[in-house]
Structure 1
Amino acid sequence: MRRFYFLVCSLVLFSSFIVLNADASSFSFRRADGGKLIGKVVESPGNAGVSFATIALLTKDSTLTEGVVADENGVFTMSNVKPGSYILRVTNMGYQTLFVAKVSVAPESSIVDLGNLTLLPEAQKLNEVVVRGEKSMIVDDIDKKTINIGKDLLATSNNVSDLLEKLPAVSLDENGNPQVRGKGNVVVLIDGKPSSLYGNDLPTILQSFPANLIERIDVMTTPSAKYEGDGASGVIDIITKKSKIRGINGGTRVSLGNKDNYNGSGNISLKTGKLGMNATVSGGVRNMYWKRRLNRENFAAAQTTTLAQAGRGQNEGNNLFSRIGANYDFNDKNSLEAGINYSRDHSDNNSTLLNQTGLTNGTITEEFIRKSKSNGNGDNVNMSVDYRHKFAEKDHQLSFTANYSIGSSDGESSFNLESEIESLVKQQRTFRDNKGKSLFLNSDYTWPITPKSTLEVGVRSRISSNDNTNAFYTYNTDQQDFVFDPAISNIFGYSDALYTGFMTFSQKTDLWGLRAGLRVTDYNQKIKQISINNEFGVHFLTLVPSLALTRKINDESQFKLNYSRRVQRPEAGMLNPYTDISDPRNIQSGNPNLKPEFVHKAEMGYSNYESSGGWGPSLFMDYSNNAITRIRTIDEEGVSLTRYDNVGRELSYGFETDFSQKIGESVKLNASGRVFRSEVVSDIAQIDNRTWSYSGNLNAFITLPMDFRASAYLNYEGPRAIAQGTREGVFVANMGIRKDLLEKKATLSFNIQDIFLSRAYKSQLSTETYNQNSLWQQTNRMLNLTFQYRFGKISASGDDA
């Protein structure tokens, strides 16, 4: 805890130093006093201001001398411009680049008014996007949706986890794992690379990654063959900011929350000449309280019994994330980027659970209280190198990426069972020691065959290994000591090697667009149950095709049809046969006999986006005939065993749309919603669940007097069919208010998450051997006050740093 307080104090001092010195002449990039250029960037037709356009001042040999970013209304000011003749370049996503020649600044001039600089909307291309409104709005592409992380989302989000739950079709489960259209098994990438390179615990990674490092997030519900075939529900690619313009910029953020929840971060980027550097550090303390309830009727024995569980717990921890990177542009055709990331996480968990077993007439036959404590530590180091080469031929490009990651985690847990029945009294301990490493290699080549057709090919390899030790000890009253129990302990080794190649072909005409692709993957798994000297391996060769078609209606609208085949390969945790008996009435185990799940995904949609807003409705279908899901069985003692299995057919289909609208100058709305049917059917497991449901979310941003802005977020994930039962709907409501300070270089914001404490996860399961109702809910409402300060003449992404 003291280490985090030291980090927060350091960040506050760093913020104060920046505030006092950001405008001082000590920056080596500050030029001598000169003229001032002013102007406004507008779009045609209508002359509406273009928010956050990038304005660069070039010499006659195209050397960059100054750069600024326009404000929300397209207005910009460029100060301290030396006398001379320049070329002005104006760029913004979705518009044609504008060059203004012979911009002259005379020695005697103080202000040069350039008036309105008009950008023309760029005609939609196959591999480009159409901007819909301001930077924080959604962008539609042929095979993905892009969400630009503007200032509104940043003001209401401290980390990537906060950002994700505001995106169309994306939600988080009770553990913080992303879901797409209400389903898990989502591949999360960071800059196109597996998030596992940053560590094995995805929720912790997302909570540790500062939101202000993110430029945009791409959500792909029917990914092209360019992306790895994993992720039956879809792919989320988190794109971080890059320093592209000469200068120095950065920011700090400190957030104070109730119930001992705090976090802080600082980042700085430097670009001078051919060299760019960036550094980031963030840390946080999290504290979450929860309650759990379970009621079950067990029919497996001759006489029906009941199980009632009620418990509460606390999960607390702290994390640290840091990275440093550098990029060097050798020339206009060759660039190199390298970086290293370090993350550390510590957790402490405590819980108390009352267990009552009885008969249907209300008689309690046995009762005990299970008290558990656990702690864990995790470290991960990731090193990366990226090289890009542009050939002399126009737009030919070769890229190469190498990533190496090494991590470890350890921890221990204690379980004490207290009861008046002597045979139930137990003391147990487990010790965990996990180590892993992975190597990721990637190379892509882009070849524009003609001005209207492009071929892209690539190869990937990923090699990883994990060693997991779970040692279980039970207290022996005769020996007065904890004794190792080999029957439920496990040493588990896992390694995999993936080799894959892909090819995509894109063709466009004035009205039609096509992108077709095929990925071939050779995948090998080796599993070692070292404790029982058992070893086996599996091998899969898979084909993942994809197809996307678009038909342009006009400059703002198009139809599209997408298809993709996905594969979910069993992960190490699903395969590990280790039996977790921390809850003796509900034990869990892996299944080393799992087979891959193949999912067919299809989508047909229409989009129409204009400067004031738009919408993108679509019909979708996901189908799998070998679905991997959790199955629960009950024995005669009323003890349940849960493990993953291949159960049979899983189908979901429905209607989905996203929507954005600007109402006047004060209100912006982003929303998405869907109506769908989910079905899980298995003759072998005797499952037949079919449910109609609906889900949706709404983001509203409102401009108030005195430079205040308010925001509200609502999300509802409707009930859906799951194996052996139904999961109920979940509603979440958040809100916030913010104010810009210090000439919009700083922001003070106040946010409330889960206003009504309605994020409750409930499920009902029913089979021939049992009926069960369960609840898990976080019980502390999250409030936080956040201060953010940004410095520098220009940001890395053309938005708030």
Structure 2
Amino acid sequence: MSKNFRADGGKLVGKIVESPANAGVSFATVALLASKDSTLANGVVADENGVFTITNVPPGSYILKITNLGYQTKFVANVKMAAEGNMVDLGNITVLAEAQKLNEVVVKGEKSMIVDDIDKKMITIGKDLLANSNNVSDLLEKVPAVSLDENGNPQVRGKGNVVVLIDGKPSNLYGADLPTILQSFPANLIERIDVMTTPSAKYEGEGASGVIDIITKKNKIHGMNGGMRLSLGNKNNNNASGNISYRAGKVGVNASLSGNTRGMGWERNLTRENFISETVSTLKQSGTGTNKGKNAFGRVGVNYDINDKNSLEAGINYSLDNNRNNSNIFNENLAGSVSSGNFNRINNSKGNGNNVNFSLDYRKKFADKDHQFNFQSSYSLGGSDGESYFLQDSKIDSLIKNQQNLRNNNRRSLFLNTDYTWPITPKSTLEVGLRTRTSSNDNTNSFYNLNRETSSYEFDPNISNVFSYSDATYTGFMTFSQKTDLWGMRAGLRVTDYNQNIDQVSIGREFGVQFLTLVPSLALTRKLNETSQLKLNYSRRVQRPEADWLNPYTDVSDPRNVKSGNPNLRPEFTHNAELGYSNYEESGGFGPSLFMNYSNNAITQIRTVDEAGVSLTRYDNVGRELSYGFETDFSQKFGDVLKINGSGRFFRNEVVSALAQIDNRTWSYSGNLNAFVTLPADFRASAYVNYEGPRAIAQGTRQGVFIANMGIRKDLLEKKATISFNVQDIFLSRAYKSQLNTATYSQDSYWHQTNRLVNLTFQYRFGKISGGGDDA
């Protein structure tokens, strides 16, 4: 169509009436929502006779939402504006008074749904997923292609090294520990989750496996609304949160506050045979432990519309975390069949952390709605401290130890981003941007041994470490998009100058490195009909070493399994490619694809064992990692009773390094399934199962992991409230097993979460909202 038609759009007219006399309903609010993601496209207020007119409606499919005080909310689905149409007359639209009981309300805009864009999948979070999810971690487990490892870090297609963004900004602006951030972020603040396995050059070049962007809800409409959520669980797993949004005129304010307590028990076993010495020695470990914690998270945001084209948004986020970890590990050493050097090691640790983030964003729109300029800025600072106390008991006097470790960390970061989007023609768009991110970390680890003769702790300089780390990233990117009726193309290039400075204060070693990287991307789509398309994507990714991987501090909390950082790590580069098909309709759909990920100079954990049987684990650049296979996500509704969605993949996984004598190759499979069942009396049940199949790791294999959850919920108070009962890890099957085999040792390890999580949750939503036209 011509550019003039695009600017004017079509017109929707209609009349809001009340049954049974078809009397006009004065001043009802009419909001026009996009069918694909339920975002507000336009809106008006009907006149005193209930008549409304919405102008400048682009071609597409919409949902009409009618609200008015004293009346039931009304949804009208499948409102279509044809490309060649000038006006659509919807006629009389009947609403019911609040006192009348609806037999059936189908809320089209509330369901979870998948939209396949050129270079990402967008998963809108609906009521079903929110009902059995307290935080973002719970949501991510249910997203196609995404899983969590035993520590709560996200994986894409079973592989870590994922960049997690929150509203397009790095998640580390909210704190240093990603699992804690995801656990403290309330699920009901999330609008959608974007998963990019082959991200365009617009996004961070880091993350060998891909990018996850968590999009929070914005205050796009007038009025006040909010919600409260309280969840009580066993083992002190409790959660409470609340949020409120208010918008009047040009000003919008939103605030949220959440807090949770968590508790998890685990057991661990390890058996390792050491072949270095003439006599084979064996280490056997068995023990239990608990991880407990509590955190609080708060955010306040203010949005001001300067005029129709310019807006400002400012926000403050604050998080506070406290954790307590305890373990009791028995160590048995065998030289041949003779037991020697046995000891029991008890570890009691505690830590505290806090983080505050300030943000200021500016957006300017030009005459064309898609023509805009964005500026984002964030400044974050935080710190953490910790204490660990080790008591080692043995019948051998030399193995009796009493030790303590004192830790302190301070960090700062600054993020600046500018994006300019220029619609060159109605079908082509150029986007350019500049980004700067600087950060610094100061780490102090002080280790002390108790002198039993003087009953005082003595500083151990051989283990203690003072480490400073800073980096600066300067990035420029450009993407060009071209769309026709059938074809879509997005090509981009990202150039990054990365500077890294390391100061090993303890040993007086300081050095810096610089990397100039190019990250190209290309995405092609071919539309087959209104709901289906083919796509071909490629992107190059880079995984730069993180501060924790570089820090050479030696962690001796388990003296038979020591960990350390490697300041000589180099970046890992990955090539990602994907050929896919998608077909998503209102009743369901699927998105199968063939994928390939290839990494050279891959960063992975390597374990070596010395003659005394002590292992050292650290990150290293080992060789190549290759995975390729078939993947699909799917969803399907069976009438109004059953809805399922999930994903599955079958793939080859290879880790090869001639230098490290590694050659592991295996076929594997994994998948997850969500099922939602509508029951009588407004009850709704859900079940979730996930299986991550065995896969090759650097020096061996990791066995498959199976997890099953279930829940039941009921809507109350005219669907303004929900009460739900959920059980996570029903079969206590969250167990991680791995086997490592090298020329010098063979090891079997086992880690198992020993408590299932049971919780009862009550959620209440309040407020009245209405459409306010095009949001600035």
TM-score between the two structures when normalised by the length of structure 1 = 0.86
Say if 1:597 and 1:313 are closer, same or farther in 2 by CA, change over 3 A. Answer: same
Structure 2 SS opposite 1:383: strand
- Residue by residue, what CA displacement relative to the aligned partner does 1:227-282 show, whole Å, maximum 9, x if unpaired? 01000001000000001111000000000001111110010000000000001000
Contact 2:44-2:772 at 8 Å conserved across structures: no
Superposed counterparts of 1:131-146, under 5 Å:
135-146=111-122
Correspondence for 2:570 among 586, 590, 595: 595
Contact 1:602-1:621 at 8 Å conserved across structures: yes
Say if 1:311 and 1:92 are closer, same or farther in 2 by CA, change over 3 A. Answer: farther
TM-fit CA distance, 1:57: 3.0
- Residue by residue, what CA displacement relative to the aligned partner does 1:54-100 show, whole Å, maximum 9, x if unpaired? 8843379xxx9999xxxxx9796533499xxxxx9989999889987
TM-fit CA distance, 1:34: 7.0
TM-fit CA distance, 1:608: 1.5
Correspondence for 2:765 among 790, 793, 797: 790
Question: C-alpha separation between the residues in 1 aligned to 2:629 and 2:772?
Answer: 36
Say if 1:700 and 1:394 are closer, same or farther in 2 by CA, change over 3 A. Answer: closer
Structure 1 SS opposite 2:445: strand
Correspondence for 1:677 among 645, 652, 659: 652
Correspondence for 1:497 among 472, 484, 495: 472
Say if 1:795 and 1:348 are closer, same or farther in 2 by CA, change over 3 A. Answer: farther
Contact 2:81-2:88 at 8 Å conserved across structures: no
Which residue of structure 2 aligns with residue 162 of structure 1? 138
TM-fit CA distance, 1:395: 2.7
Which residue of structure 2 aligns with residue 698 of structure 1? 673
Superposed counterparts of 1:182-331, under 5 Å:
182-331=158-307
Which consecutive aligned stretches of 4+ in structure 1 deviate over 6 angstroms post-superposition? 38-44, 49-55, 64-67, 88-105, 131-134, 795-798
Which residue of structure 2 aligns with residue 150 of structure 1? 126
Which residue identity does 1:762 align to in structure 2?
K
Question: C-alpha separation between the residues in 2 aligned to 1:305 and 1:368?
Answer: 16
Which residue of structure 1 aligns with residue 534 of structure 2? 559
The answer for unaligned runs of 5 or more in structure 2 is 1-23, 55-61, 99-106
TM-fit CA distance, 1:480: 1.6
Question: C-alpha separation between the residues in 1 aligned to 2:579 and 2:477?
Answer: 24
Superposed counterparts of 1:718-733, under 5 Å:
718-733=693-708
Which residue identity does 2:681 align to in structure 1?
M
Contact 1:697-1:715 at 8 Å conserved across structures: yes
TM-fit CA distance, 1:312: 0.3
Question: C-alpha separation between the residues in 2 aligned to 1:81 and 1:359?
Answer: 81
- Is the aligned partner of 1:78 residue 2:76? no
Which residue identity does 1:58 align to in structure 2?
V
Question: C-alpha separation between the residues in 2 aligned to 1:377 and 1:42?
Answer: 44
Say if 1:92 and 1:646 are closer, same or farther in 2 by CA, change over 3 A. Answer: farther
Question: C-alpha separation between the residues in 2 aligned to 1:537 and 1:443?
Answer: 28
Correspondence for 2:725 among 720, 736, 750: 750
Which residue of structure 2 aligns with residue 24 of structure 1? none
The answer for unaligned runs of 5 or more in structure 1 is 1-32, 68-72, 83-87, 112-130
- Is the aligned partner of 1:374 residue 2:349? yes
TM-fit CA distance, 1:415: 0.6
- Is the aligned partner of 1:415 residue 2:390? yes
Question: C-alpha separation between the residues in 2 aligned to 1:446 and 1:727?
Answer: 45
- Is the aligned partner of 1:401 residue 2:376? yes
Question: C-alpha separation between the residues in 2 aligned to 1:65 and 1:376?
Answer: 59
Contact 2:272-2:747 at 8 Å conserved across structures: yes
Structure 2 SS opposite 1:196: helix
Structure 2 SS opposite 1:793: strand
Structure 1 SS opposite 2:172: helix
TM-fit CA distance, 1:134: 6.5
Question: C-alpha separation between the residues in 1 aligned to 2:704 and 2:366?
Answer: 53
Contact 1:52-1:74 at 8 Å conserved across structures: no
- Residue by residue, what CA displacement relative to the aligned partner does 1:690-720 show, whole Å, maximum 9, x if unpaired? 0000000001111000000000001000000
Question: C-alpha separation between the residues in 1 aligned to 2:53 and 2:392?
Answer: 69
Superposed counterparts of 1:374-393, under 5 Å:
374-393=349-368
Structure 2 SS opposite 1:794: strand
Question: C-alpha separation between the residues in 2 aligned to 1:774 and 1:66?
Answer: 67
Question: C-alpha separation between the residues in 2 aligned to 1:92 and 1:540?
Answer: 51
Say if 1:100 and 1:498 are closer, same or farther in 2 by CA, change over 3 A. Answer: same
Which one is further off, 330-339 or 33-42?
33-42
Which residue of structure 1 aligns with residue 13 of structure 2? none
Structure 2 SS opposite 1:388: strand
Which residue identity does 1:636 align to in structure 2?
E
TM-fit CA distance, 1:175: 0.4
Say if 1:93 and 1:671 are closer, same or farther in 2 by CA, change over 3 A. Answer: farther
- Residue by residue, what CA displacement relative to the aligned partner does 1:543-600 show, whole Å, maximum 9, x if unpaired? 0000000111111111100000000000111111111111000000111111100000
Contact 1:581-1:587 at 8 Å conserved across structures: yes
Question: C-alpha separation between the residues in 2 aligned to 1:486 and 1:380?
Answer: 30
Superposed counterparts of 1:464-475, under 5 Å:
464-475=439-450
Say if 1:474 and 1:264 are closer, same or farther in 2 by CA, change over 3 A. Answer: same
Contact 1:669-1:699 at 8 Å conserved across structures: yes
Question: C-alpha separation between the residues in 1 aligned to 2:339 and 2:619?
Answer: 32
Which residue identity does 2:324 align to in structure 1?
D
Correspondence for 1:514 among 481, 485, 489: 489
Which residue of structure 2 aligns with residue 711 of structure 1? 686
Structure 2 SS opposite 1:423: helix
Contact 2:475-2:496 at 8 Å conserved across structures: yes
Say if 1:76 and 1:602 are closer, same or farther in 2 by CA, change over 3 A. Answer: closer
Identity %: 69
Question: C-alpha separation between the residues in 1 aligned to 2:168 and 2:697?
Answer: 31
TM-fit CA distance, 1:538: 0.6
TM-fit CA distance, 1:451: 0.8
Which one is further off, 547-556 or 740-749?
547-556
TM-score between the two structures when normalised by the length of structure 2 = 0.89
TM-fit CA distance, 1:303: 1.0
Contact 2:279-2:336 at 8 Å conserved across structures: no
Structure 2 SS opposite 1:161: helix
Question: C-alpha separation between the residues in 2 aligned to 1:781 and 1:394?
Answer: 50
Contact 2:32-2:42 at 8 Å conserved across structures: no
- Is the aligned partner of 1:620 residue 2:607? no
Say if 1:548 and 1:41 are closer, same or farther in 2 by CA, change over 3 A. Answer: closer
Correspondence for 1:527 among 497, 502, 510: 502
User: What RMSD in Å do the two structures reach over aligned CA positions?
Assistant: 3.1
Question: C-alpha separation between the residues in 2 aligned to 1:189 and 1:446?
Answer: 20
TM-fit CA distance, 1:399: 0.5
Question: C-alpha separation between the residues in 2 aligned to 1:315 and 1:538?
Answer: 37
Which residue identity does 2:657 align to in structure 1?
S
Which residue identity does 1:78 align to in structure 2?
T
- Is the aligned partner of 1:58 residue 2:45? yes
Question: C-alpha separation between the residues in 2 aligned to 1:132 and 1:605?
Answer: 27
Which residue identity does 1:221 align to in structure 2?
T
Question: C-alpha separation between the residues in 1 aligned to 2:112 and 2:535?
Answer: 23
TM-fit CA distance, 1:330: 1.0
Contact 1:290-1:776 at 8 Å conserved across structures: yes
Which residue of structure 1 aligns with residue 709 of structure 2? 734
Which residue of structure 1 aligns with residue 340 of structure 2? 365
TM-fit CA distance, 1:533: 1.2
Contact 1:579-1:587 at 8 Å conserved across structures: yes
TM-fit CA distance, 1:750: 0.3
